[in-house]
């Protein structure tokens, strides 16, 4: 079915070209679980409320709206040229879906996904898979026409995974295949025609648990399968243009970060590394990880145990640094973090998805990452792109980059009390955001405060700070702090991330 989708659009859309030297964008985006509305899900939270879950068609509409809003960040609102999505739900009810994506788009021309999933929802479209809803939302909101490839599910007789990868491309998809490995999601490979030049794109989502040695064994198989395919490609053409992107569930410096792991999937098997000039050696490494372009303190697109994580990655072949076909634009790699939209302006952390409210809110627990490319016509594979200050560090630092909660812009924190005067705080609009709070302690065991008539638990990951709060404050005391609004196990809470976020308690005499 997925091959048919790509082939059909190749017939009805003539394809596009980029002018010589014109830039085009590649975005890698883990959307944090885009699930459909059929009510059948492996993840409990994504089942309907009547089955103990939290997910409704309105939640799907919100997720689609925020995905498209993120894509509008690129190319002045027109959207990226190529997008590699992760965490799109695999279709678990194919018997409820006619399988005709074009028919779905045509039948609902002029009706947005928000209208289809809102008040007009009658359940008749519950069999539409997540990738079809995504394609419809993109087609409605962006002026570009895209081709789509959807990762194939597990082999016959094996369980259907929860999620798969999806690739959108403004350039025609001429080939696609999914590379399977045991106990893991398949890696989607597509071959694109970029103005007559072949570009191979691998869309990966490896097994989770970056620090877990047992999970690394499964990732080793992920890497082995992809590496064998790369070796086939590079035997035929050592300068083939190849992009590998996705959520590798490994740190870019996995080998340096976790030296107790005898072999790492990303660095030891796949061959991702950070010495860009080594690509020029005939028998040297053939892949380069773009995180090495940035200073170490700026390497991060997600949160990993109080540190910045680099699970999202873009890795390039040597052919993207020569003067033939597709060429990388050096220095263009970034994480797409926009304060006030998908990033909290106080902490800079991702505003992740929440089920709060009737329709949910938020974006993802990962920032998208992106890079720019262009087409050259020199046909000079032995001529290399000029690089300013090229990285020569193959492995990267051994220590993670801690999240700088002490340096957070607390002056930008909105007042929770002023918000509470206008609307309930316990809703979707401010979840994941750091707010300035003046409250009254309302209870102990667990420690709770009240803002207006709404009650919140208080937590800190800093054990000493947590105990200080619990011991210094008693019911009836006033407390002032900056805290991240969220929910945990059904309870609303504020998380105080650093001692500087807590205003020093005044003595009783001073408070009178």
pLDDT for 294? 97
Extract the tokens encoding 193.
Answer: 């025609």
pLDDT for 129? 97
Average per-residue pLDDT for the chain? 93
Report, in angstroms and rounded to the nearest whole number, the Rg of the chain calculated over CA atoms: 24
Quote the longest CA-to-CA distance of the chain: 81
Q: In whole angstroms, give the CA distance from residue 237 to residue 240.
A: 5
pLDDT for 120? 85
pLDDT tier for residue 508 given thresholds of 50, 70 and 90? low
Mean pLDDT of 374-402: 95
pLDDT tier for residue 157 given thresholds of 50, 70 and 90? low
User: Has residue 505 got a pLDDT over 90?
Assistant: no
Residue 411 burial (C-beta neighbours within 10 Å; 0-12, 13-18, 19+): exposed
> Measured at the alpha carbon of residue 137, what is the angle toward residues 134 and 142, in degrees to the nearest 5?
120
User: Has residue 5 got a pLDDT over 90?
Assistant: no
Mean pLDDT of 364-379: 96
Q: What is the pLDDT of residues 301-310, one digit of tens each?
A: 999 888 999 9
Mean pLDDT of 110-131: 95
pLDDT tier for residue 161 given thresholds of 50, 70 and 90? confident
pLDDT for 66? 98
User: Has residue 175 got a pLDDT over 90?
Assistant: yes
Q: List, in order of start, the domains of the chain with CATH numbers.
A: 1-18+27-168 (no CATH), 410-511 (2.40.50.140)
User: Has residue 3 got a pLDDT over 70?
Assistant: no
Q: What is the pLDDT of residues 257-305, one digit of tens each?
A: 999 999 999 999 999 999 999 999 989 999 999 999 999 999 999 998 8
pLDDT for 19? 61
Q: How many CB atoms lie within 10 A of CB 386?
A: 7
- Please give the DSSP secondary-structure letter assigned to residue 273: -
pLDDT tier for residue 512 given thresholds of 50, 70 and 90? very low
pLDDT for 297? 95
pLDDT tier for residue 182 given thresholds of 50, 70 and 90? confident
In our burial notation (b when 16+ CB lie closer than 10 A, e otherwise), range 328-367 reads bebebbbbbbeeeebbbbbbbbbbbbbbbbebbbbbbbbb
The residue that leads in pLDDT, 268 or 22, is 268
User: Has residue 2 got a pLDDT over 50?
Assistant: no
Residue 165 burial (C-beta neighbours within 10 Å; 0-12, 13-18, 19+): buried
φ, ψ for residue 501, nearest 5 deg = -80, -10
pLDDT for 183? 86
Q: Tell me how far CA of residue 19 lies from CA of 71, 80, 335, in angstroms.
A: 22, 16, 26
Q: How many CB atoms lie within 10 A of CB 402?
A: 12
Mean pLDDT of 420-442: 96
Q: Classify 9 as helix, strand or coil.
A: helix
Per the DSSP assignment, residues forming a β-bridge with 33 are none
User: Has residue 503 got a pLDDT over 80?
Assistant: yes
User: Has residue 98 got a pLDDT over 80?
Assistant: yes
User: Has residue 447 got a pLDDT over 90?
Assistant: yes
User: Has residue 346 got a pLDDT over 50?
Assistant: yes
Give the whole-number percent of the chain exceeding pLDDT 70.
Answer: 94
DSSP characters over 232-253: HHHHH-TT--EEEEEE-SS-TT
Alpha-helix runs per DSSP H in 205-355:
213-236, 254-257
pLDDT for 282? 87
Mean pLDDT of 310-332: 98
pLDDT for 7? 42
pLDDT for 302? 97
Specify whether the CB–CB gap between 185 and 205 falls below 8 A: yes
Q: How many CB atoms lie within 10 A of CB 284?
A: 12
pLDDT tier for residue 155 given thresholds of 50, 70 and 90? low
| Sign of the C-alpha dihedral computed for residues 29, 31, 35 and 41 taken in this order | positive
Q: Classify 194 as helix, strand or coil.
A: strand
Give the whole-number percent of the chain exceeding pLDDT 90.
Answer: 88
- Which of 188, 192, 201, 223 shows the shortest CA–CA distance to 86? 188
Alpha-helix runs per DSSP H in 242-366:
254-257
Q: Tell me how far CA of residue 128 lies from CA of 104, 141, 191, in angstroms.
A: 9, 19, 27
């Amino acid at each position: 079915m997925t091959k048919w989708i790509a082939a059909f659009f190749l017939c009805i859309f003539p394809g596009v070209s980029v002018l010589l030297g014109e830039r085009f964008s590649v975005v890698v985006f883990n959307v944090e679980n885009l699930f459909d509305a059929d009510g059948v899900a492996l993840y409990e939270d994504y089942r309907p409320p009547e089955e103990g879950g939290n997910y409704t068609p309105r939640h799907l509409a919100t997720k689609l709206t925020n995905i498209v809003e993120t894509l509008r960040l690129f190319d002045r609102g027109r959207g990226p040229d190529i997008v590699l999505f992760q965490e799109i739900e695999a279709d678990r009810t194919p018997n409820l879906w006619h399988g005709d994506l074009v028919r779905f788009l045509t039948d609902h021309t002029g009706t947005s996904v928000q209208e289809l999933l809102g008040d007009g929802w009658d359940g008749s479209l519950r069999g539409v898979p997540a990738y079809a809803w995504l394609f419809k939302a993109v087609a409605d909101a962006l002026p570009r026409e895209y081709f789509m490839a959807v990762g194939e599910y597990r082999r016959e007789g094996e369980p259907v995974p929860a999620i798969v990868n999806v690739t959108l491309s403004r350039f025609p998809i001429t080939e696609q295949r999914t590379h399977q490995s045991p106990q893991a999601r398949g890696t989607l490979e597509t071959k694109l025609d970029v103005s007559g030049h072949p570009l191979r794109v691998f869309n990966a989502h490896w097994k989770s648990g970056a620090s877990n040695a047992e999970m690394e064994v499964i990732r080793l198989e992920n890497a082995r399968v992809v590496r064998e395919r790369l070796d086939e490609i590079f035997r035929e053409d050592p300068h083939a243009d190849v992009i590998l992107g996705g959520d590798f569930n490994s740190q870019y410096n996995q080998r340096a970060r976790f030296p107790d792991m005898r072999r790492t999937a990303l660095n030891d098997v796949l061959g991702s590394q950070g010495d860009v000039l080594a690509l020029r050696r005939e028998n040297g490494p053939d892949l380069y990880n773009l995180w090495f372009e940035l200073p170490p303190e700026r390497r991060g697109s997600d949160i990993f145990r109080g540190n910045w994580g680099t699970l999202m990655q873009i890795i390039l072949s040597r052919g993207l640094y020569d003067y033939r076909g597709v060429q990388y634009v050096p220095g263009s790699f970034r994480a797409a973090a926009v304060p006030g939209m998908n990033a909290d302006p106080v902490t800079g952390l991702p505003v992740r998805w929440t089920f709060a409210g009737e329709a949910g809110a938020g974006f993802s627990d990962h920032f998208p990452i992106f890079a720019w490319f262009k087409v050259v016509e020199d046909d000079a594979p032995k001529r290399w792109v000029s690089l300013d200050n090229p990285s020569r560090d193959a492995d990267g630092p051994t220590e993670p980059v801690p999240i700088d909660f002490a340096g957070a812009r607390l002056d930008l924190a909105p007042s929770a009390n002023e918000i509470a005067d206008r609307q309930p705080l316990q809703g979707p609009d401010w979840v994941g955001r750091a707010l300035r709070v003046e409250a009254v302690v309302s209870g102990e065991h667990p420690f709770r405060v009240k803002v207006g008539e709404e009650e919140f638990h208080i937590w800190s990951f800093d054990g000493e700070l947590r105990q200080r709060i619990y011991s210094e404050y008693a019911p009836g005391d006033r407390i002032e702090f900056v805290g991240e609004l969220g929910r945990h196990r059904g309870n609303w809470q504020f998380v105080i991330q650093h001692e500087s976020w807590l205003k020093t308690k005044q003595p009783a005499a001073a408070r009178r």
